[in-house]
Structure 1
Amino acid sequence: MQMPMRAAALSLALVLGTGAAPAAFAQAAPGPGAADAVFRATTLGLGAYGETRLAPDIATISLGVMTEARTAQAAMQANAARMGEVLAALKRGGIAAKDIQTSQLSIEPQYAYEQNQPPRLTGYRASNQVTVTVRDLTRLGTAVDATVSAGANQVGGISFGLADPTAAENAARELAVKALTAKADLYARATGHRVLRLVSLSEGAAFTPPQPVPMVAMASARFKEADTQVSPGEIKVRVDVSGVYELAR
């Protein structure tokens, strides 16, 4: 009698086991339409931006020296001598060595072109360009005058910026979120809904464009007439955000 009882117990266990598995699976699997439940909600996708404007506190200026001579060596020697005077003038003006960076150094042959004749070598042109960061804007005009007086004959341009844009970016973020929230409320009211919740919020890269001020190469005599006046004006810091809101009636 013991063997049939064991067989019956084993048979019952198998029946229970096969019956429990479908029940557990039914609980784990999503019900019909549950996977796309989010699409049945009324959602609103919007974008907004915040922008702050403030005075810059640094400037970047590109300047350099261009010299010409009959030979490449003479052109480079003349360029090095004049560039040394320009760098010395910058340092006397309070510009730290770490804020002076060579951006371009070249020497090129120069040719004369005549009709029906092969190009004729006339000499060489050497050019040395540096990018200078000015952290005290009250010295900017004086620095430009001093470098031109020292021999710089190429001034490419000036751009203004912020040494640390963090505070301005955070202020722009707050303005962007306020603008986004106001826009969501407006759309909700216009469509007979109310904002239920913010589903997602994303930010684009903070944008702090440098403010370029184009300049052209000028002879030193032009600067001797009067001190160079530079107006930094204002720069803008912009942050773009986008969000998805769930609406309800």
Structure 2
Amino acid sequence: MMYFYPQIPCSDNIKLSSSKNPTMKVHGIGNIKAEPNLALINLGVVTEDKDLENAQKENAIKSNAVLNQLYAMNISKNQISTASYTIEPHYDYVEGKQIFRGYKVSNILNVRTKELNKVGEIVDNAVKAGANIVNNIIFTIDNNTLYYNKALSLAVKDSIAKAINIGNTLGVKVQEIPFNIIELTTSSINEEIPTEKVYAASTTPIIPGQINVVARIEAIFNYC
């Protein structure tokens, strides 16, 4: 996102090197610490069989068992969505020859929950019910606009402080309101838990940490 502000000429008693004000480009960074309030769990069932129909049936049975287990944990249907459903033929290569091994059927689900203390339990119970793949767990903020806007404000203040410091070092006057600001970041923030941590113990200890909400801008200042 780009913002423009009207240019304000320097004072008449200051001599300019040209008819236009010289400019400086400064990057500003704002950082806010926030507690996550939403977990996104990506898990599912993968089955293999030489007969495609058998692979699909087995996958459907196990996937329904996983869903029923999630429902039993008071996870509603609107908290669960299908991330992907794929069917792939698999082959082995023996002495340079391609040999058909069977079909791989994958049904991957996205599970959303605000009960962060139950993430480990959700993963464990889903695995017990038949889930055999956990791709990732992401902790994020349900509505991050407020935090991001605070970080963005800090980024603007940071750019102004840097521009003034540069101006003081060079012995020039910096107009403190930038005439051009470019937003370099988006408001997407999360903390991803690597998959290998999911299998750390029989009762999976998954503990969300604080999230860094970072905003970065590029600001251009007049000076004279």
TM-score by length of 2: 0.81
The answer as to whether partners of 1:201 and 1:241 remain within 8 angstroms in 2 is no
**1:149 Cα deviation after fit:** 0.6
Aligned residues: CA RMSD: 2.5
1:235 — aligned with what?
211
Structure 1 residues 228 and 189, CA, compared in 2 at 3 Å: closer, same or farther? same
**Partner secondary structure for residue 193 of structure 2:** strand
Give CA-to-partner distance per residue, 1:124-172, whole Å, 9 cap, x none.
3221111222222111111101100100011111111110001211210
Q: 1:62 aligns with which of 42, 47, 59?
A: 42
* Residues 198 and 244, structure 1, Cα contact 8 Å, conserved in 2: no
1:129-208 superposed matches below 5 A: 129-202=108-181, 203-208=183-188
CA offsets 1:71-113 (integer angstroms, 9 cap, x no match): 1111101110110010111122232212212122122334444
Instruction: Indicate which of 55, 62, 72 corresponds to 1:92.
Output: 72
- Which 4+ stretches in 1 moved above 6 angstroms? none
The 1:241/1:113 distance shift into structure 2, 3 A limit, reads: closer
Give the letter for the 2:30 counterpart: G
1:101-140 to structure 2, matched below 5 A, reads 101-115=81-95, 118-140=97-119
Q: CA deviation at 1:204?
A: 2.7
In the alignment, the residues of structure 2 paired with residue 231 and residue 217 of structure 1 have an alpha-carbon distance, to the nearest angstrom, of 10
Identity across aligned pairs (percent)?
Answer: 29
Q: Distance in 1 between matches of 2:197 and 2:87?
A: 19
Q: Give 5+ residue unaligned stretches, structure 1.
A: 1-36
- Classify the secondary structure of the residue corresponding to 1:127: strand
Count the aligned residue pairs.
207
Specify the SS of the correspondent of 1:198: coil
SS of structure 1 residue aligned to 2:174: strand
Shift, 1:217, TM fit: 10
**Higher-helix-fraction structure:** 1
Aligned position for 1:247: 223
Output the amino acid matched with 1:127. Answer: S
Quickly say closer, same or farther: Cα 1:145–1:183, change in 2 above 3 A. same
Q: 1:77 aligns with which of 44, 57, 61?
A: 57
Q: Secondary structure at the match of 1:196?
A: coil
Q: Rg bigger for which structure? A: 1
- Counterparts of 2:197 and 2:159, CA distance in 1: 46
Q: Tell me: CA distance 1:239–1:122, structure 2 relative to 1, closer, same or farther (3 Å).
A: closer
Q: Which residue of 2 aligns with 1:20?
A: none
